[in-house]
Structure 1
């Protein structure tokens, strides 16, 4: 059976769900296809916490995260779900630039420097090693609630969502339509939004060109809280390369309290390269040993010997910036891992704009051809 439809979104994680929400609230016909069940653990969008870190320095990220903060509240209002919790964000470490607070304030984002003693008094579960950049409008968000809310509101507004609908292939048909073939149905779509994370190369590799995507298996952990009276902000700990203080670090550290599970902490984008259909879901022992050492030294309100490992995939580009672009009827969203979650509703807006606004142009930093790649057309 073949069905004609205006827009098919492939991939029902955070980004695809946000795109479907944006299209449905604009009154557009949209079908979201997800190969797994809702809230599965095979990709990058599962779990109940992500940092909502507003502490960027580049204008395009600052503009996008400001928009995302407003849109998260709109989603909460439309769905009734509590998603964004502004517990504050702290950035510390010798790698945080001295002009960071000035940059944020210039973009209308509240920011202040706190001395080490003041920060330790406020958040006694963390052993801060330098002055701390505090942004009260940062915090954490719940991606599982967000996915469910995006999809529920999209359906309420006339969109359709299908789980367990694996897309086997997509291809061009005469007249510019795109054939989307699943295990049980075939769709002819005017546009297709592809947001499938680590499966991007398997689905559209060879159809369009885009920056190289690197798929890794990341292994953060939740450490049991021992100081139950401590307050916990979301945090980033930024190393200075070459400083012996950080000689065992694999990357910068991120983290936040996950209520009911512990304090989550992890290395950033340094896990082993994997095939998303063939991975172990097991942590790399040496990296976990070093993560536990980090918890022992800096997360002093936790027990580094009581932890629950987490497994997820990252999909990143060489410059760690996103891919948000359109080539003919194919709209691609990829490379979000490690920092994309906070921007989700704004990314959904960008993807939807490519559908509804024929003259929409990509943000240059996220263009598919930003490395000079000759992008294939249809």
Structure 2
């Protein structure tokens, strides 16, 4: 039987970030991942994500600004770029959208971050690969430009975290599925895999779409909120007008105007970014079908894809809506879209990242590592297992 200080179950970006944070503090940590490296079964695969700083709530701004520091640490330690400083544009949503983006601007400026309003024509002139519409307020507050936004090199970042765990003395074990997590009467936890049993002082669960199933099958006393698993289907659209990609194309968040009939086909907010070599990525946020993660078909839903192709035709003039590569990934969402970061006994859980978690990963890993070691201020109230809001509007902060 193997014995370590901390076992992290789930080697996607959140588990990898947790194990990296633990290992670089000298913790004897074992990271277990049920699939092979580079798999497409969960929510962490793919070449790029938005590093989206367009939040107005303190608990998310605290987390995302700390994440920026830790992404820089990871890049330095791994000697590889992790964030491309392309910036982020936010637009749309009608009158409510202007108020939403204004709240983001005010929150960022209050923290010393730059955020600038641009008129739609000026924004299009600067980034001709994107289209913009004047906002109904009519005062030039059409597009909120946030230079601190970036593009995460997601696949490179995940590999760098896995490498960082081993570089700092931890262990990463792929193709090792945790079948049961059993708190011991004398304290500590036994983790049962297909190959062995491992005992540890603390276990951290970061298994994404499999969280509720593992908790239930192990009989763990964790008051989880409802975690809804959906299959989402963004796509990379081929770039057919490279001449419009002048400079770095920023990531984007685009909210539909509920009062404009032209936006009636929108399924949700749209997020996207340019992925060099693959095209311009765009996706609806949190509109996929609910499913069992072990029974995915990976096939896209035709009507949703038709609407996404229409979006590309209307709003992405550098892209070809008829040439695309569909992407299948999972969201594991809470009703409020807030994360679950907390500890009960010797079990720590990180879950419910609701399609907007990747950018936060190194800071989430730091919080979960603190919980495992019993140090630090603990998670923000919105992330705790008790006292959570169980209802709320889904926000357009997609990855």
* TM-score of the pair, normalised by structure 2: 0.91
Q: How does 1:83-102 map to 2 (within 5 A)?
A: 83-93=82-92, 94=94, 95-97=97-99, 98-102=102-106
Report deviation, 1:104.
1.3
Cα displacement string for residues 348-372 of structure 1 (whole angstroms, at most 9, x for unaligned residues): 1000000222575331011111337
Sort the Cα spacing of 1:167 and 1:246 in 2 relative to 1 into closer, same or farther, 3 A. Answer: same
Q: RMSD between aligned alpha carbons?
A: 1.3
Cα distance between partner residues in 2 of 1:370 and 1:314: 23
List gaps (5 residues or longer) in structure 2.
Answer: 135-141, 391-399
Cα distance between partner residues in 2 of 1:363 and 1:182: 32
2:397 corresponds in structure 1 to: none
1:175 corresponds in structure 2 to: 186
2:208 is aligned with 1:209: no
Cα distance between partner residues in 1 of 2:379 and 2:268: 30
* Structure 1 stretch displaced more, 243-252 or 66-75: 243-252
Cα distance between partner residues in 2 of 1:183 and 1:370: 36
Candidates 94, 112, 119, aligned match of 1:115: 119
1:302 corresponds in structure 2 to: 319
SS in 2 for 1:204: helix
- Give the count of matched residue pairs: 372
SS in 1 for 2:280: strand
CA contact (8 A) 1:62 1:107 kept: no
* Structure 1 stretch displaced more, 95-104 or 308-317: 95-104
Sort the Cα spacing of 1:337 and 1:38 in 2 relative to 1 into closer, same or farther, 3 A. Answer: farther
Candidates 263, 271, 278, aligned match of 1:261: 278
Q: How does 1:264-303 map to 2 (within 5 A)?
A: 264-303=281-320
SS in 1 for 2:214: helix
Cα distance between partner residues in 2 of 1:334 and 1:365: 13
Q: How does 1:1-378 map to 2 (within 5 A)?
A: 2-93=1-92, 94=94, 95-97=97-99, 98-130=102-134, 131-205=142-216, 206-207=219-220, 208-229=222-243, 230-231=245-246, 232-358=249-375, 360-371=377-388
Cα displacement string for residues 86-114 of structure 1 (whole angstroms, at most 9, x for unaligned residues): 10100000224234322210122110001
CA contact (8 A) 1:44 1:337 kept: no
Cα distance between partner residues in 1 of 2:126 and 2:255: 20
Report deviation, 1:292.
0.4
* TM-score of the pair, normalised by structure 1: 0.96
SS in 2 for 1:174: coil
Report deviation, 1:193.
0.4
Cα distance between partner residues in 1 of 2:104 and 2:342: 29
SS in 2 for 1:176: coil
CA contact (8 A) 1:96 1:238 kept: no
Cα distance between partner residues in 2 of 1:183 and 1:313: 25
List gaps (5 residues or longer) in structure 1.
Answer: 374-378
Report deviation, 1:246.
1.9
Cα displacement string for residues 243-272 of structure 1 (whole angstroms, at most 9, x for unaligned residues): 423211110000000110000000001100
SS in 1 for 2:289: coil
Cα distance between partner residues in 2 of 1:372 and 1:365: 8
Cα distance between partner residues in 1 of 2:69 and 2:341: 20
Sort the Cα spacing of 1:372 and 1:57 in 2 relative to 1 into closer, same or farther, 3 A. Answer: closer
* Structure 1 stretch displaced more, 304-313 or 227-236: 227-236
Cα distance between partner residues in 2 of 1:263 and 1:39: 21
Cα distance between partner residues in 1 of 2:362 and 2:104: 25
CA contact (8 A) 1:90 1:134 kept: yes
